[in-house]
């Protein structure tokens, strides 16, 4: 960033009041902590999938099971019925 752009950012930051500036810093800090937590959870999930795979489970199917369980049972049944209808219509 050149000096003019840098000065513009600095000047703009002064337009926030002290309370707003502190609130913004708090939001940024919370989001950064949550990002760290998210990374930890994702790493843990990766380990669980690796463990399942080492025990002979198909992780692609396991992921599909997890995704399907998130969907309401009635909605899932409707989707499956439509899928069968469409597949039948194209001869599959």
pLDDT at position 17, please? 87
Tokens read off for 14:
């002064």
Per-residue pLDDT of 5-32, as tens digits, reads 555 555 566 778 889 999 999 999 999 9
Q: Which residues, 6 or more positions from 1, have their beta carbon under 8 angstroms from its beta carbon?
A: 9
CB-hemisphere CA count at 13 Å for 86? 6
16 close to 24: Cβ distance less than 8 angstroms:
yes
| Tokens of residue 40, six digits | 């930890």
According to the model, what pLDDT value does residue 6 have?
53
Domain ranges of the chain: 1-40
CA distance 73 to 78: 9
pTM over 0.75: no
Q: pLDDT tens digits, residue range 68-83?
A: 999 999 999 999 999 9
Q: State the average pLDDT for the chain.
A: 90
């Amino acid at each position: 960033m050149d000096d003019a752009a840098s000065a513009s950012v600095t000047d703009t930051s002064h337009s926030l009041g002290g309370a707003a500036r502190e609130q913004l810093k708090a939001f940024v800090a919370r989001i950064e902590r949550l990002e760290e937590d998210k990374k930890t959870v994702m790493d843990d999930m990766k380990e669980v999938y690796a463990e399942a795979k080492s025990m002979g489970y198909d992780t692609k199917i396991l992921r599909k099971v997890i995704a399907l369980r998130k969907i309401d049972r009635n909605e899932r049944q409707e989707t499956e019925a439509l899928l069968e209808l469409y597949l039948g219509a194209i001869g599959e």
